[in-house]
Each structure stands twice: as structure tokens, then as C-alpha cells.
């Protein structure tokens, strides 16, 4: 199952990173600055439940590389599913 995680901040980064750690096929939809951070350092989690630092797949709007089987919205930005599909393209899902 291919999962598109919208956002790789505190919430999306943590839960998406833990899913990757468990073997899930997760791709993170991120902005250019966050993509550069992840490309340089990997996805980094610091947690009392265990730290994680590992490379993960990232994409940006307009180049999603779908289709995906599941979409997880974890962004703090106010965005509706409809607006996300319009921005990214319906063939990503």
C-alpha cells in the first residue's frame, strides 16, 4: 500500500516516520525548504520512545508520482481535501 503523508512536521513526521520504520511505503508531500532539510539530514525524530534518523521519500505539489492508496492529512495549514486535489491533480489519488 502506497501512502501519501501531507506534511512532515511534528505530527506527519512522527507518525509517517514510525510507519516507514515499520516497513510501510510512505511518501511525504512537503514544501521545497522541508524537502531540502530531509534530503540533507533524513527524517529525524527525537522521542522518549526512541530516536529515528533515516532517509524518506519526498515529493512536492505538481510532481506527486502517484497513484497512492491512502492519503493522510497532517498539515497544520487550513486546507480542504478538495483544494488539495485541485492543487496536486486528481490523478495522484
Domain ranges of the chain: 2-92
Please choose, from the candidates 40, 39, 51, the residue with its C-alpha nearest in 3D space to the C-alpha of residue 14. Answer: 51
Which fold does the domain 2-92 belong to in CATH?
Rossmann fold (3.40.50)
- Is the backbone peptide bond immediately before 67 cis, with ω within 30 degrees of 0? yes
pTM of the model: 0.79
Helix, strand counts (H, E) of the chain: 3, 6
* Strands, E assignment, the chain: 2-6, 25-29, 43-45, 52-54, 57-59, 70-73
pLDDT digits (tens, 9 = 90+) for 50-92: 999 999 999 998 888 878 999 888 766 555 556 666 666 555 5
44 and 52 Cβ atoms separated by less than 8 Å: yes
Amino acid at each position: 500500500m502506497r501512502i501519501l503523508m501531507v506534511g512532515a512536521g511534528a505530527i506527519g513526521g512522527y507518525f509517517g516516520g514510525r510507519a516507514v520504520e515499520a516497513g510501510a511505503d510512505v511518501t511525504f508531500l512537503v514544501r521545497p525548504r522541508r524537502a531540502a532539510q530531509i534530503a540533507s539530514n533524513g527524517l529525524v525524530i527525537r522521542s522518549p520512545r526512541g530516536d529515528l534518523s533515516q532517509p524518506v521519500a519526498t515529493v512536492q505539489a505538481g510532481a506527486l508520482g502517484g497513484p497512492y492508496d491512502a492519503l493522510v492529512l497532517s498539515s497544520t495549514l487550513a486546507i480542504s481535501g478538495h483544494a488539495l486535489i485541485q492543487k496536486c491533480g486528481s490523478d495522484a489519488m
